[in-house]
């Protein structure tokens, strides 16, 4: 689920809007496994399903004349709630899928990399979004995960000499722990690093 992240400096009580690149609804076409997608949200919604025809229907949803990125994203999100034939391991892989779609977008747009890196070391939190209950009974949601995805990618985009290796290791472990806690992947995970 989309929405721009928020930047929060330690001394500030209120968060400010992060760059548009942190919004999963942002329309910036990118290729993922040889196909063009309009937004991270569009690719994410399509990855949920095994039905190739439905995936293609989602992929072909382009931004309409006069439609904002947010409106397009909500239309794609809404269509993604109607699909059937969900991946059997979706609850386990969905965070990794969102990360990989975001990473693919950044790797293909140098200006978006620069925008994300310009946030420095500010804390990134996702906007209010959907929540779900894990197998452990813990309730989690996209608000913290979207912030963690952007933070991880920001750290990975830095030159190795500038990376906070402890932070990066901790972030990668959180993603791996989530995948394992939810039962792991039963099917291959497409995209970057597959």
CATH of the domain at 134: 1.10.357.40
CB atoms within 10 A of CB 119: 18
Beta bridge partners of 139: 133
**Domain carrying residue 40:** 6-181
Residue 1 falls inside a structural domain: no
Between strands 131-133 and 139-141, the pairing is antiparallel
Tens-digit pLDDT profile for the chain (194 aa)?
Answer: 566 898 986 656 667 889 999 999 999 999 999 999 999 999 999 999 999 999 999 999 999 999 999 999 999 999 999 988 999 999 999 999 999 999 999 999 999 999 999 999 999 998 878 887 888 888 888 889 999 999 999 999 999 999 999 999 999 999 999 999 999 999 999 987 55
Residue 87 falls inside a structural domain: yes
pTM of the model: 0.94
Residue 88 falls inside a structural domain: yes
Residue 194 falls inside a structural domain: no
Beta bridge partners of 31: 36
* Short-list 104, 115, 84, CA closest to 39: 104
Number of domains within the chain: 1
- For the chain, helix (H) and strand (E) counts, in that order, are 7, 7
């Amino acid at each position: 689920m989309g929405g721009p992240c928020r930047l929060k400096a330690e001394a500030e009580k209120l968060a400010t809007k992060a760059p548009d690149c942190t919004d999963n609804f942002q329309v910036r076409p990118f290729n993922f496994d040889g196909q063009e997608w309009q937004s991270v949200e569009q690719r994410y919604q399509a990855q949920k399903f095994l039905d190739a025809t439905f995936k293609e229907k989602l992929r072909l949803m382009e931004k309409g004349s006069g439609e904002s990125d947010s409106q397009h994203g909500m239309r794609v999100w809404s269509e993604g709630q109607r699909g059937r034939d969900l991946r059997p391991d979706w609850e386990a892989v969905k965070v990794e899928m969102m990360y990989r779609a975001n990473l693919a977008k950044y790797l293909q747009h140098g200006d978006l990399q620069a925008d994300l890196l310009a946030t420095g070391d500010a804390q990134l939190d996702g906007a209010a979004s959907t929540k779900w209950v894990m197998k452990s009974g813990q309730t989690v949601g996209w608000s913290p995960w979207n912030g963690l995805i952007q933070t991880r990618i920001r750290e990975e985009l830095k030159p190795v000499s500038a990376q906070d290796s402890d932070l990066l290791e901790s972030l990668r472990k959180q993603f791996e722990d989530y995948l394992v806690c939810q039962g792991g992947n039963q099917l291959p995970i497409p995209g970057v690093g597959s």
